[in-house]
Structure 1
């Protein structure tokens, strides 16, 4: 009986390892066109270079890959979801001082263009803090 129970626990453990939760990720492009690609485990920061900037001199700094915890991803998700759920922060055209927020999962994807706001500022502050860009 003990052997049977151990065998069943082993089978359950193997089966549960094969069950994956849906991947979720976000991307955020700030008003300067610096991009943050956010997965459940890391943030990839891709800055704009002077040759890509409208002024020809602005630089967003250096590329970075930063590991994040589940709690940090959850905090980012909460801020992003609050932005997605606030329609008056959104606009239909990309203009100066706007930014872009995207979400994708195995079952859904969405993109919005954001006007300047306190919620956007909080998200940017968190992303910069996690990437040590201050």
Structure 2
């Protein structure tokens, strides 16, 4: 193809790529990140793309003997992330299952976005805690 204004096409292409990159970054930064600490203080970190499990080591446990096992990380599909996101949001909304202080076997949910951070504590054996832990462990094959 023979273009009459090749520099204009290059500038337009560069501008378009810059706009697309900006849009993509803006959309990604609005996606929340979640952290869940289970009743034994094992940590689960969830982003739109991955689930990371960071277990408690015996030297970090209250008994000095408990181990949460081996660390793990998996990639998440869009559907898996959306399913987890729904469970996290349900837990955050379920105020009747919230308690004010962290106690043994309670679960702590933290949601972080570009505009705020929300942290709640789920009472031990709350339905939302059970559903969330089941989903997280299921994805990790535990």
User: Which bin holds the TM-score, normalised by the shorter protein?
Assistant: 0.7 to 0.9
Local SS of the residue matching 1:54: coil
Q: Which runs of 5+ in 1 are unaligned?
A: none
For 1:83 and 1:40, the matched residues in 2 are separated by 18
Shift of 1:108: 1.7
Q: CA RMSD in A?
A: 2.0
* Greater per-residue helix proportion: 2
Shift of 1:43: 0.9
Which residue of structure 1 lines up, in the alignment, with residue 135 of structure 2?
Answer: 126
Length-normalised TM-score, structure 1: 0.88
Tell me the residue number matched to 2:86.
78
TM-score, L = length of structure 2: 0.83
- Tell me how many residue pairs correspond in the alignment: 131
Structure 1 stretch displaced more, 28-37 or 107-116: 107-116
1:16 corresponds to which residue? 20
Over 6 Å off, 4+ runs: none
Residues 9 and 79 of structure 1: is their aligned pair in 2 closer, same or farther, counting only changes over 3 Å?
farther
- Residue of structure 1 in register with 2:59 after alignment: 51
Instruction: Find the aligned partners of 2:86 and 2:121 in 1 and give their Cα distance.
Output: 18
Paired position in structure 2 for 1:96: 104
* SS of match in other structure, 1:36: strand
Q: Deviations over 1:32-88 (max 9, x none)?
A: 010001111001100001111122221100111111111111101100111111101
- Structure 1 counterpart SS, 2:48: coil
